[in-house]
Structure 1
Amino acid sequence: MTDSRRGKGRLVADRRYPKKAQPKAKARKPAQTKRRRTAAKAPRRGIVGFFSRIIGWILRFFVRLFMRAGIVAALIIAAFVGYAYTTLPDVSTASDGRARGSVQLLDRDGVAFAWRGDQFGGIVTADSVSPHLKNAVVATEDKRFYRHFGISPRGIASAVRINLSEGRGPLSGHGGSTITQQTAKLLCLGVEYDPSEWESEAEYVSDCRRGSLYRKGKEAIYALAMELKYSKDEILSIYLNRAYMGGGAYGAAAASERFFSKPASALTPQEGAMIAGLLTAPSSLAPTSNLERSQARAATVLRLMNEQGYLTDEQTRAAQANPATLSQQAQTQTGGYFADWVMQSGPDFFTRDTTEDVIIETTLDQRIQSAVEEAVKTVFATKVREGSKAQTAVVVMSADGAVRGMVGGRKTNVAGVFNRATQAKRQTGSAFKPFVYATALELGYSPYDTVQDSPFCMNIPGSGQWCPENYTRDYKGTVTLVDALAASLNVPAVKISESVGRDLVRKVSVDFGIDSPLTDTPALALGASEASLLEMTGAFAGILNGGSSVTPYGLKELRLKGDDTQIMGTGGGIGERVIQEDAARQLIWMMEKVVTNGTGTRARLPDRQAAGKTGTTQAARDAWFIGFTADYVAGVWMGYDDNTPLTGVTGGGLPAEIWHETMLRVHQGLPAQPLPMIAPDPPRQVAQPERAQPQRQQPRPQRTGNALENALNQLLRDILGQN
């Protein structure tokens, strides 16, 4: 019998339709995936698996190490930034970064003509300056200034790429510094100048500008601290106040006044672009140094402003078509030598080392200064051979010693250079002779008194025999004092100097203002001693003013900016009387003959009287002409800095021509005034014994009352061969 239940399971009808395979496949799939995962997770065997495990461990180690080192470095940087943050000054304190104050020099009419020290026009802000200046600075120096956090990785990478492409080191040349970083550098990273730690201010500034990797790191930290402490506009304000912008101007306010004579708030697009363009190279790009180069740089800045949307195309074209130019005041550029001299003549704590802003009123006349400069250029351009290295110096002053114009070398528009008018000490030659004759006239002698011009020798203790000669090496015989001076004869000058007393000649010279040491030898009368042109011109001014000493001066008044109280007044002017007025006026009469018919005829003026004296030293190493009209005294020196002899030049030549050209321009438009001179009484005709010299007029009674003068008079009579 069959089992019905067992058979039931094998019924064919039950298998007619196959079972669905999907559920079973789904059930098996997870098992297969698990097996694959298990196989993937299974460590590789052999040497490949070994090294794979080591490399994986090393990578995981360094990842964890770098993460931890990064966290530590971030904490350290945060600490440094936090410390720098605590040292940052207030915005107002940080804005004025000058180590020195400024000095502004005004001419006799109150017009500014020179600036010295660190010129500062006052504090400005990013909101108070012209928006054109603000935009120009951002467009030129840091176009992402308002978007970065103090440093710009993109800018640094770009700078490194440019430096490498130009063959420099990665940190040489372009620095990729943001405005914030540049401001940090201007603040010297918080290090203040200490004279006890630095040999000079220049060394301190140089250290602040160093570009080493270490300094770059400190600069970045300081910049980050500034971004936390100040707003963007405050950072920009500090930058606009501290940056050097050429021409002695620190900050936008000073630059605006210096170049355009207007406040920084009133700058046009082209003016703002010019100032912003100076930031890369303020000394060489300054418009006072090279206007065309400055304008070309400004055109580039205008293009950058246009590209960044600060100016429309129309505004850009208009600005580039009408570039900024210097104001009339800034174009002056006169009186550099004079300004340097005034700065040196004043006290250091109010001039060269001042920490305040100072105003100095001076005696300079810009019209006369321009006349001097034009005269020098004219003579050297037309009458000096090309390539000559000869130098010159010219001083023009009033009879009271007020200096009106000064040139200390052939280059006129310069400052901070050697000033031959005040610093050079040169032998004076025959230009010294008026002081010999001044001494004689003061003792009562007449210009018509005579002296023998003939070979003459003296025994000088320690030196032997000395025989002076005339420049022409011939002799005139018996000559009057006035003729001896007009012809610049040497032998009569020595005889008169020795007769009146060398010590008296030295005393008169010193009293007239020649402060340089004077030799105590007979050659004193021939100008063997050295003196500056300023000293000699001042001494001649004493003759013009009637015989009183003169101290040349250029400073009239010194005061602090914004304060009307005078701190210091003039230190010069007319001093004590040296010789009597009638003696001085007779000397002027004698010196007028030098110009009319003596060695100085090239200095003769067409419309007015002039008096003066030529001077040529041994071997023609120095040539002088110093003279005066009724209005002004002018002195001219010419020579080589290395004492090379001049070729074919005497005091009556080129120096007299420079004097002539100068005084023509100085007196243009001025009415002619007669010289304050007195012609002496004509010589008396008296019977004389055979072979006797013409008789000298007797000294005036009022000056023959003491024994010394009588003895000196007798000595003169003995030398002159008179009874």
Structure 2
Amino acid sequence: MVAEKRSRPAQNKRKPATKARRRKAAPKRRGLLATLLWPFKWLLILFWRIAWRGTLVVSILVGIGVFYYAATLPPMSEMVDARTRGSVTLLDARGETFAWRGDQFGGMIRASSINENLHNAVVATEDKRFYWHFGVDFYATGAAMVRNFRNGGNPLSGAGGSSITQQTAKLLCFGRPFDPNTWEDETAYEADCRRTTLWRKVQEAVYAFALEARYTKEEILTIYINRAYLGAGSRGFEAASQRYFGISAAEVNPAQSAMLAGLLKAPTTYAPTRNLQVSQDRGATIIRLMEEQGYLTSAQAADAQANPATLSEAARARAGGYFADWVMDSGPSFFTDGTTEDVIIRTTLDPRIQTAAEEALVWVFENKVRAGSEAQAAIVVMSADGAVRAMVGGRDLTVSGAFNRATQALRQTGSAFKPFIYAAALDIGMSPFDILLDERTCWDVPGPDDYCPANYTNRFEGEVTMVEALQQSLNIPAVALSELVGRAAVRAVAEGFGIDRDLADGPALALGVSESTLLEMTGAYAGILNGGSAVKPYGLTELRLAGDDTPLLEATGGIRERVIQESAARQLTWMMYQVVEGGSGRRAAVEGWEIAGKTGTTQAARDAWFIGFSGDYVAGVWMGYDDNTPLTGVTGSGLPADIWHETMTRILSGLTPTPLPMEVPTQVAVPQLQPQTGQAGDGLGYTPEEADTIINDLLRELQNSGG
């Protein structure tokens, strides 16, 4: 038998060697670039390891910062209004808003409740990718840095790039509240919060991420639209919409929305109250952006461009700018300039009268004053109780916080002071028909020369009655009468009526060498109109906090104590009526109305006045140069009387004429004077002939003695 052939175990089988196995592997060849970088390979590896670890550390730190900020952020409703100052809303006599002061806040509005056009305008203008990023738009930031570098060399200096969330972080000052010990005022605080440095940009980004983590997009936008400053003291879009258009932010149209959104770039520059055309041009740019981003159709954009936004009547007129400043200055500071609350002040301002005064001033300067003149003028109109109805403090009618010539300019009053002399004389029983001498007279005064006044005409009229002397504004009889009744008595009447400045001591007192303001002088004449009682000019009638119905302050009138007898005031009114009817104040006459008044011109015509009244209103006009340069060819009987006439003609138009409260004198009453005191007895019972003889003898004796 043949033995069965056994096969070899599999593990003993050997595979034939291949060519690849038999040959040693060839070394790998490097490229030229790899060969050059080979020595630096370890540096690249080291850099990479440091970079990713550094990035990890920075990310952890940013995350901690985000977590910290997000954890400390309060509810959104507490973030919308963090003003350190309050606001003051001023209402006119009808209860309509005519001015704002301080930082106005219209109340919280939500991004979801404002008009869709306004919502879209803000997003289109400030951050078109607002709903797509997480707080920082890196693309916009990078583009802005490149643009800033090309323009000025500093990538951090310039506009653009910040998202709405980042701008909100700045408005919140990264969570730092205002501290008066750190910042001088809120303006300095906000400037510091807007300061841009590399570290601030890092803080801004971290805080923006925290806002995104804590709030929704609509809540962030709500904070933004409530805190943004939009010019003219407006904080937030509700206040701005009310300020400029007189409507809520929920009611604005596309053109108004574009104008409001355009203010975000530079609120003071683009404020429509400052330059309406510039604001409208900026709004046109926003409308184009809204169209490009699909928020407006072509037809809507064309309509908005053709009908740009305009200011409300109150904002356009800027009525009562000087008046509002005066009320703010005269009210309690803790409720006006220094208020931390929102305050509502109701005033005496009558917008119809205010407009009449402004239009009159503009008309006279356009039609009767040479072009290029820098002369100024001021007007005050008030009721007989001192309630100020209108105030113009200078020719620039659009300013706020400017020098107010009606309340701040102290000027000599000239012959406008003379009614106080005649008031003192009438109050002691003298008659408008008493005779005065207009002849050359000198008075002994300290110094090398005597005081020898002259009349404006350089003529002497001889014997004149008191009413004629006032009617023609004669100087010598006025000084003589002042000396006769006593300077102390004249001074007491003037001070009683509110001219409480330092009054001159010598005989020149009678010719108005002392200084006063137009407001004080107009208030003094109001005392004559109301029958001889002093008034304190006032503009505030009610002050309350916003949201409260109970007033904190109220004023019901400015009438104070009696200064002269009512009969004296009524006779003086008749004498001043003669000034307008046939004397130096003829140009102030208003057809169909009884008008009383007095002109005033100071030495070298540096000041010119006309102050007068109808049965309802007292109005005062001053004209002059701020630097005391003499006026050329102007006296109180000229341009000031013209301004007064134009003002009162507009005010009284359409009203039923009110007669003046005047008394035509029918009986002569001569005082029995006591020379040392200037006081008088009853002085009654003389015939007209006897009275004339006594008065003439007294005046001759006084003038001849030089005293």
Question: TM-score scaled to structure 2, two decimals?
Answer: 0.91
Match of 1:596 among 574, 578, 581: 581
| 1:574 lines up with 2:554 in the alignment | no
| 1:648 lines up with 2:618 in the alignment | no
Give CA-to-partner distance per residue, 1:567-615, whole Å, 9 cap, x none: 1112751111100010001111111111122111111112111111111
1:574 aligned partner, one-letter code: I
Match of 1:27 among 14, 18, 38: 18
| 1:709 lines up with 2:679 in the alignment | yes
Q: Secondary structure at the match of 1:271?
A: helix
Task: Please state how far the C-alpha of 1:480 moved relative to its aligned partner.
Answer: 1.4
Match of 1:443 among 406, 425, 428: 428
Task: Please state how far the C-alpha of 1:518 moved relative to its aligned partner.
Answer: 1.7
Greater shift, 144-153 or 96-105, is seen at 96-105
Pair 634,168 (structure 1): closer, same or farther in 2 beyond 3 Å: farther
Task: Please state how far the C-alpha of 1:242 moved relative to its aligned partner.
Answer: 0.5
Task: Please state how far the C-alpha of 1:718 moved relative to its aligned partner.
Answer: 6.0
Pair 465,127 (structure 1): closer, same or farther in 2 beyond 3 Å: same
Task: Please state how far the C-alpha of 1:388 moved relative to its aligned partner.
Answer: 0.7
Pair 56,472 (structure 1): closer, same or farther in 2 beyond 3 Å: same
| Residues 398 and 631, structure 1, Cα contact 8 Å, conserved in 2 | yes
Matches within 5 A, 1:185-204: 185-204=170-189
Per the alignment, residue 551 of structure 1 pairs with 536
2:700 aligned partner, one-letter code: G
Q: Quick one: distance in 2 between partners of 1:571 and 1:513?
A: 19
Per the alignment, residue 670 of structure 2 pairs with 698
| 1:565 lines up with 2:537 in the alignment | no
Q: Quick one: distance in 2 between partners of 1:508 and 1:364?
A: 29
Pair 528,168 (structure 1): closer, same or farther in 2 beyond 3 Å: farther
Tell me how many residue pairs correspond in the alignment: 678
Unaligned runs of 5+ in 1: 1-22, 684-696
Per the alignment, residue 299 of structure 1 pairs with 284
Pair 29,65 (structure 1): closer, same or farther in 2 beyond 3 Å: same
Q: Quick one: distance in 1 between partners of 2:153 and 2:120?
A: 31
| 1:367 lines up with 2:337 in the alignment | no
| 1:489 lines up with 2:489 in the alignment | no
Task: Please state how far the C-alpha of 1:537 moved relative to its aligned partner.
Answer: 0.2
Task: Please state how far the C-alpha of 1:722 moved relative to its aligned partner.
Answer: 7.2
Q: Secondary structure at the match of 1:223?
A: helix
Task: Please state how far the C-alpha of 1:717 moved relative to its aligned partner.
Answer: 6.9
Match of 1:338 among 312, 315, 323: 323
Q: Quick one: distance in 2 between partners of 1:112 and 1:56?
A: 76
Pair 716,200 (structure 1): closer, same or farther in 2 beyond 3 Å: farther
| 1:92 lines up with 2:83 in the alignment | no
Q: Quick one: distance in 1 between partners of 2:325 and 2:94?
A: 19
Task: Please state how far the C-alpha of 1:177 moved relative to its aligned partner.
Answer: 0.7
Pair 253,463 (structure 1): closer, same or farther in 2 beyond 3 Å: farther
Give CA-to-partner distance per residue, 1:396-433, whole Å, 9 cap, x none: 11111111111000111222111100111111111011
Give CA-to-partner distance per residue, 1:163-195, whole Å, 9 cap, x none: 344456323322311101111111122222222
Pair 541,54 (structure 1): closer, same or farther in 2 beyond 3 Å: same
Q: Secondary structure at the match of 1:305?
A: helix
Q: Quick one: distance in 2 between partners of 1:243 and 1:224?
A: 20
Q: Quick one: distance in 2 between partners of 1:570 and 1:31?
A: 118
Q: Secondary structure at the match of 2:657?
A: coil
Greater shift, 592-601 or 542-551, is seen at 592-601
Task: Please state how far the C-alpha of 1:57 moved relative to its aligned partner.
Answer: 2.2
1:129 aligned partner, one-letter code: I
Task: Please state how far the C-alpha of 1:214 moved relative to its aligned partner.
Answer: 3.0
Per the alignment, residue 471 of structure 1 pairs with 456
| 1:152 lines up with 2:152 in the alignment | no
| Residues 435 and 696, structure 2, Cα contact 8 Å, conserved in 1 | no
Task: Please state how far the C-alpha of 1:500 moved relative to its aligned partner.
Answer: 1.3
| Residues 343 and 544, structure 2, Cα contact 8 Å, conserved in 1 | yes
Matches within 5 A, 1:535-684: 535-570=520-555, 572-681=557-666
Q: Secondary structure at the match of 1:466?
A: coil
Q: Quick one: distance in 2 between partners of 1:28 and 1:613?
A: 132
Q: Secondary structure at the match of 2:18?
A: helix
Question: TM-score scaled to structure 1, two decimals?
Answer: 0.89
Per the alignment, residue 20 of structure 1 pairs with none
Unaligned runs of 5+ in 2: 1-14, 684-690, 703-707
| Residues 335 and 413, structure 1, Cα contact 8 Å, conserved in 2 | no
Task: Please state how far the C-alpha of 1:236 moved relative to its aligned partner.
Answer: 0.3
Give CA-to-partner distance per residue, 1:466-499, whole Å, 9 cap, x none: 2222222222222211111111111111111122
Q: Quick one: distance in 1 between partners of 2:314 and 2:303?
A: 25
2:504 aligned partner, one-letter code: T
Task: Please state how far the C-alpha of 1:319 moved relative to its aligned partner.
Answer: 3.1
| Residues 379 and 619, structure 2, Cα contact 8 Å, conserved in 1 | yes
Pair 458,30 (structure 1): closer, same or farther in 2 beyond 3 Å: farther
Based on CA coordinates, which of the two structures has the bigger radius of gyration?
1
| Residues 671 and 681, structure 2, Cα contact 8 Å, conserved in 1 | no
| Residues 422 and 533, structure 1, Cα contact 8 Å, conserved in 2 | yes
2:385 aligned partner, one-letter code: D
| Residues 514 and 539, structure 1, Cα contact 8 Å, conserved in 2 | yes
Match of 2:111 among 122, 126, 137: 126
Pair 53,433 (structure 1): closer, same or farther in 2 beyond 3 Å: same
Greater shift, 146-155 or 157-166, is seen at 157-166
Q: Secondary structure at the match of 1:359?
A: strand
Q: Quick one: distance in 2 between partners of 1:264 and 1:711?
A: 71
2:85 aligned partner, one-letter code: R
| 1:720 lines up with 2:692 in the alignment | no
Per the alignment, residue 17 of structure 1 pairs with none
Q: Secondary structure at the match of 1:479?
A: strand
